[in-house]
Chain A
């Protein structure tokens, strides 16, 4: 079993993508199918950018067990007031700083959902957001 934790800082634009790149490298070393790696990498990178753009800080946890890759993403807030709205393509609350970097197009959550075999999101304003993304290995 593999379990790695990657803390992600609020507005940590300078190191953005490093955690996802490391997760991708780990999966490659394990010999995971390249199509699966690609889906994990896309979902993971979107999640990492979401933490950087929107959260007050959080972490991504990678675990591989029983034929599943699981990415658990949690943050310290601020929470999403309307999760169903956030899932809609094109909806974004990202600020100008994120947009100027090529993000904030309202494709993050749709991209994550589309790439996962099992997707769960729960959020409470003032508490935080939890996402669990699962990918079947075979």
Chain B
């Protein structure tokens, strides 16, 4: 009935109606599963912990600066439901290198709101979520569904998920209004491997269709600037394996590897290692989480720094070029619980810095006439309260 209502209402729906419809389906879907969930109250699956986070994000790199607040609230209802809301704002100023050569610096604001709900049904957790992102020349709406099912004495968890997205691409001072349709399927299995090890294997497929090139960017053919032209579809596959290991006393290590390739011949390998341990000089209240990450990417088949001849598809987007990154970072979590015990079980103040070093093999910085390389700085500060 919900779906039939949704179908009827969708005919001729405006963008606002579409957002309201998605929220309606999300809420009514969760509520409609209430009787079943109450009957099957004995379960091993657990809902995510209740928490509230308030923080500030900062990104700076390649002439671009992005700052803004972030807020996350997650609350349980009747021990069977978990609802969450997330708000983010990105205040963007400047322009990256591939835009500076053809346009001027700018500033704009992007806002994103995400809503989610989860419920437990026997050994499964059902999740629904939706998000809206809006900025002057780009809108994005998505809905998602996921199920995580514990089995074999809760030693394994099977994860299935589907996401659907609708984007609208615009261009400032023009009437450009084109769509992108996105589909995402993911399948994963995680396992309690031993007393100290957790393992996870995941596969994800992303399909996109529509205006996939950037209306602000251009390509170069024999030194002459032309418009970019991308294929209208793209399908990407990502395989990843991750492991968590607990080491006494009180340290945890995480290993991560991902292989990605797509129908544009972009392929990449990602390696990551992180290590969380108390900072002994201060005490157990302060936990530092260090991480190092390596990312290696091959360029798309139609990417050219300076194309020798015209071709059907052509791009000069540095995100599609041949490049590597090295990333180093640390986040400190300081437990404030001994000072704040009134309303919350735990209160933590966190501060993190990450430096990402980009090195491009076939993207020329035209202002310096050499291959581009730069460092991006990521800073985060936030307070977390668990209740």
Binding partners A and B:
no
